[in-house]
C-alpha cells in the first residue's frame, strides 16, 4: 500500500505547502535552518517524517522543535528529537533532506514510500509527536504547517507551546520513559523546574550563597523560562537578575546580545552595564548554550566559555567520584576543533582526564561522550552537558558508604545526575551546575578563571558563493576540498608561534567559518584574517574581502 492510498488527504495537504523552486535544503548541524519564509514546505514535510519515525519506533513519542537558536530573528528552523531526548538518528537526517528537496508532490510521495520500504514501516502502527517553538514571530505559522503535516498522516500530536529547546528534549524523554525503571520525570515544564530545583537545593544546602548572577537571555525564550524557574527555586537559594528579556520587539532576538554574540565578539552584551567583579552569564536564543564572563578591576573583559565550563565540571565531578569511592569509573571529556589549545592542555595534563575530539555539532559530541562512564562534553560556544552512563547510575545506587564523607559524595553525585540534563546541552541546567560548583568552592569568576589562560583566538565568517564545496576531515581540523586549500592554510599557520587555524562550512548559516589561535592577540588576528583572505580569494568569496589587518 502506498502512503497516498493509506492517507488520501496527504496529497491535498501537501499541495497547500508547495516547495519553492530553486531552493536546496539540507538537514545540517542542528536540523534545517534558514530564512523563515522559505521553511513552510520543509516543516510540513518534517511533520510527515516525524510521524514515520514514531511509527518505525512502535509509536514512541518523537519531538519536533521549531527554533533557529542563535540565528537572527528573521531565520527559523526545525529539528527532530528521538525518543530518549537525543538528536535524530543520522540515517534519518538524510531522509529529512530528501523529503525537503522533492520538487513535486509525486516525488515527495515517492520518497515517503521509499523511506517506508527501506525501514519496513508498518503504517498501521500509531504515531505520537510533541512539538514546541521558541519566541520567533514566524513560529505560529510554522507550527500550523507542522500540525498540517502531522494531521495528514493521522499522527497524534500535541503542541507544547513556547519552550526552550532542552525543555522539549526533556519532555520527550519523560514521555517515553514514564512507568519504566528509567522514568525521567514529569513530562511538563513544571516537572522540569521541580526536578532541577530539588536537585539544586540538595547540592547547595547549608552553603553560603553567591552574589546575584546577571543573566542575559538574548531577548529569547530563556527569559520567561528562567523567570519561571527562579520562582520555583526561590531567591533564597539562587539570586538571578534577568536582562535582555525583550521577546516582543521585532528583531531584538540575539541582536547584539546572547551567548554567541558574547563569545564571538569577546565583550559583554548590549543592554548590560558590566561592573568590575560582577557575575554575568549569557544564554542563546533557545537557551541551549551558556557562557559566563566578568570584568576585572582594570575593566578588562574575561570570557568563561564552554571550554572553561568543561574544565570546571570535569574537575568537580572527578573529585566527587573519588570521594564517593567509585573505583574504576572513568571521567572523560569531549571537545571539538574550536576548543582552545590551553583548555585541552589543562584537561589532559593538569586534570589528567582523557579528551576526545569530534566534528562540530553536539550530536557528535553526545555520542562520543556516551563512551565514557561520565562524559563531560562542551563545545567552546557553551553548548554541552555531562552524561552519566547506566554503569555509574548503578554504582551510585549500589555503593554502601563507609564514612559520612563518602555518603555525602554519593548523595551529591546522585543529585547531579538529576540536575544535569541528560538529553542535550541545556543552558539553565548548566548554569545550575556552574553555580553549584562555585558555591561549593566559594569561588569568584576570577578564581574559576585561574585554571588556565586561553590562547588568543578569533572566529571570522566568510561569505562564499557555495559553501558546500568545503569538506572537512580529521574532526573538522583539515580541509579535503577545495583541492589545495589546506596546503595554503598550513603555509599561513607555519609562520605563527603556537598557531592553529582551520576552516569549515557552517551547518546553521550560509557562511564559511575560519578559526585561528596563536601566541598573541595580534598574531592570532593576523592569522585569522590571512586564512579568511585565502578562503575569500580562492573559493568564491562574495561581498567585502575580510580585511582587518591585510
Ligand atoms: C548549533 C549546534 C551546535 C553548533 C552550532 C554552530 O548550535 O547545535 O552544536 O556548534 O550550531 O554550528 P555551525 O558552526 O555549523 O553553524 P545552536 O545553538 O545554534 O543550535
Verify that 293 and 314 share a domain, yes or no. no
Distance CA 483, CA 431 (A): 43
Verify that 483 and 368 share a domain, yes or no. no
**What's the CATH number where 530 sits?**
3.30.310.50
Q: What's the 440 CA to ligand 1 centre distance in angstroms?
A: 31
Closest by alpha carbon to 229, among 160, 134, 159, 163? 163
At 277 the pLDDT is: 87
Q: Would the CB of 363 count as within 6 Å of ligand 1?
A: no
The protein residue with its alpha carbon nearest to ligand 1, atom 9, reads 361
Mutate to test the pocket of ligand 1, among 88, 221, 361 (most ligand atoms within 8 A of CB): 361
Q: Would the CB of 426 count as within 6 Å of ligand 1?
A: no
Verify that 285 and 323 share a domain, yes or no. no
The model's pLDDT over 440-495, given as tens digits with 9 standing for 90+, comes to 999 999 999 999 999 999 999 999 999 999 999 999 999 999 999 999 999 999 99
Q: What percent of the chain has a predicted confidence (pLDDT) above 70? A: 100
Q: Write down the catalytic residue from 69, 138, 342, 457.
A: 69
CB 263 within 8 A of CB 303: yes
**What's the CATH number where 365 sits?**
3.40.120.10
Say if 547 falls within a structural domain: no
Domain of residue 466 covers 457-538
What nine digits make up the cell of 519? Answer: 601566541
Say if 387 falls within a structural domain: yes
Our measurement of the distance from residue 162's CA atom to the centroid of its chain's CA atoms, rounded to an integer in Å, reads 18
What mean pLDDT do residues 2-26 have? 95
Of the residues 162, 179, 199, which one is the last residue of a structural domain? 162
Domain count, the chain: 4
In 119-275, which ranges are continuous DSSP H helix? 139-152, 165-177, 189-204, 222-233, 258-265
The model's pLDDT over 167-222, given as tens digits with 9 standing for 90+, comes to 999 999 999 999 999 999 999 999 999 999 999 999 999 999 999 999 999 999 99
Closest by alpha carbon to 361, among 69, 35, 48? 69
At 497 the pLDDT is: 86
What nine digits make up the cell of 295? Answer: 570584568
Name the pairing type of β-strands 128-133 and 61-66.
parallel
Verify that 10 and 149 share a domain, yes or no. yes
CB 308 within 8 A of CB 376: no
Q: Kindly tell me if the per-residue pLDDT of 550 is higher than 80.
A: no
Say if 438 falls within a structural domain: no
At 1 the pLDDT is: 81
Mutate to test the pocket of ligand 1, among 26, 30, 365 (most ligand atoms within 8 A of CB): 30
At 549 the pLDDT is: 54
Measured between alpha carbons, how far is residue 405 from residues 209, 349, 390, 398 in Å?
A: 22, 28, 24, 16
The protein residue with its alpha carbon nearest to ligand 1, atom 14, reads 506
What mean pLDDT do residues 416-427 have? 98
Q: Is 69 assigned a catalytic role?
A: yes
Q: What percent of the chain has a predicted confidence (pLDDT) above 90? A: 97
The model's pLDDT over 224-283, given as tens digits with 9 standing for 90+, comes to 999 999 999 999 999 999 999 999 999 999 999 999 999 999 999 999 999 998 999 999
The model's pLDDT over 95-125, given as tens digits with 9 standing for 90+, comes to 999 999 999 999 999 999 999 999 999 999 9
- Cis peptide bond prior to 482, omega within 30° of 0: yes
At 547 the pLDDT is: 81
Query: How many residues does this entry show for the chain?
Result: 550
Amino acid at each position: 500500500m502506498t502512503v497516498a492510498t493509506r492517507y488520501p488527504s496527504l496529497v491535498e495537504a501537501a499541495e497547500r505547502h508547495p516547495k519553492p523552486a530553486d531552493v536546496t535544503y539540507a538537514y545540517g548541524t542542528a536540523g534545517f535552518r534558514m530564512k523563515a519564509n522559505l521553511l513552510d514546505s520543509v516543516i510540513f514535510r518534517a511533520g510527515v517524517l516525524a510521524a514515520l519515525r514514531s511509527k518505525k519506533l512502535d509509536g514512541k513519542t518523537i519531538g519536533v522543535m521549531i527554533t533557529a537558536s542563535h540565528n537572527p530573528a528573521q531565520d527559523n528552523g526545525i529539528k527532530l528529537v528521538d525518543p530518549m531526548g537525543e538528536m535524530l538518528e543520522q540515517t534519518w537526517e538524510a531522509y529529512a533532506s530528501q523529503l525537503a528537496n522533492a520538487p513535486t508532490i509525486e516525488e515527495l510521495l515517492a520518497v515517503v514510500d521509499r523511506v517506508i520500504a527501506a525501514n519496513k514501516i508498518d503504517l498501521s502502527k500509531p504515531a505520537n509527536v510533541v512539538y514546541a517553538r521558541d519566541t520567533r514571530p514566524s513560529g505560529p505559522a510554522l507550527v500550523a504547517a507542522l500540525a498540517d503535516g502531522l494531521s495528514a498522516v493521522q499522527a497524534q500530536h500535541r503542541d507544547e507551546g513556547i519552550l526552550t529547546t532542552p525543555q522539549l528534549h526533556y519532555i520527550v524523554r519523560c514521555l517515553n520513559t514514564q512507568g519504566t525503571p528509567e522514568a525521567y520525570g514529569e513530562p511538563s515544564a513544571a516537572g522540569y523546574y521541580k526536578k532541577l530545583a530539588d536537585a539544586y537545593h540538595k547540592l547547595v544546602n547549608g552553603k553560603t550563597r553567591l552574589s546575584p548572577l546577571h543573566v542575559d537571555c538574548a531577548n529569547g525564550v530563556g527569559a520567561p523560562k528562567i523567570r519561571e524557574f527562579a520562582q520555583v527555586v526561590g531567591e533564597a537559594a539562587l539570586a538571578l537578575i534577568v536582562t535582555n528579556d525583550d521577546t516582543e520587539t521585532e528583531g531584538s532576538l540575539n541582536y547584539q546580545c546572547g551567548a554567541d554574540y558574547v563569545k564571538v565578539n569577546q565583550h559583554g552584551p548590549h543592554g548590560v552595564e558590566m561592573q568590575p567583579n560582577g557575575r554575568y552569564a549569557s544564554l542563546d536564543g533557545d537557551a541551549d548554550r551558556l557562557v559566563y564572563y566578568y570584568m576585572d578591576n582594570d575593566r578588562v573583559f574575561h570570557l568563561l566559555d564552554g571550554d572553561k565550563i568543561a574544565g570546571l565540571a570535569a574537575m568537580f565531578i572527578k573529585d566527587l567520584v573519588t570521594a564517593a569511592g567509585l573505583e574504576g569509573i572513568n571521567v572523560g571529556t569531549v571537545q571539538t576543533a574550536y576548543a582552545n589549545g590551553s583548555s585541552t592542555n589543562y584537561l589532559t595534563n593538569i586534570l589528567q582526564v582523557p579528551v576526545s575530539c569530534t566534528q562540530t555539532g553536539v550530536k557528535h559530541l553526545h555520542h562520543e561522550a556516551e563512551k565514557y562512564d561520565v562524559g563531560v562534553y562542551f563545545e567552546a560556544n557553551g553548548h554541552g552537558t555531562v552524561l552519566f552512563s547506566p554503569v555509574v547510575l548503578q554504582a551510585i545506587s549500589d555503593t554502601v558508604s563507609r564514612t559520612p564523607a563518602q555518603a555525602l559524595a554519593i548523595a551529591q553525585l546522585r543529585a547531579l545526575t538529576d540536575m544535569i540534563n541528560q538529553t542535550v546541552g541545556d543552558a539553565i541546567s548548566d548554569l545550575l551546575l556552574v553555580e553549584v560548583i562555585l558555591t561549593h568552592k566559594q569561588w569568584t569568576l576570577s578564581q574559576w578563571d585561574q585554571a588556565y589562560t586561553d590562547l588568543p583566538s578569533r572566529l571570522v565568517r566568510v561569505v562564499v558563493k557555495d559553501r558546500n564545496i568545503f569538506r572537512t576531515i580529521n574532526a573538522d581540523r583539515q580541509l579535503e576540498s577545495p583541492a589545495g586549500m589546506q596546503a595554503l592554510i598550513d603555509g599561513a599557520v607555519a609562520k605563527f608561534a603556537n598557531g592553529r587555524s582551520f576552516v569549515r562550512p557552517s551547518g546553521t548559516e550560509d557562511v564559511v567559518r575560519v578559526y585561528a589561535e596563536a601566541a598573541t592577540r595580534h598574531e592570532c588576528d593576523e592569522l585569522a584574517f590571512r586564512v579568511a583572505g585565502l578562503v575569500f580569494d580562492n573559493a568564491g568569496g562574495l561581498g567585502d574581502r575580510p580585511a582587518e589587518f591585510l
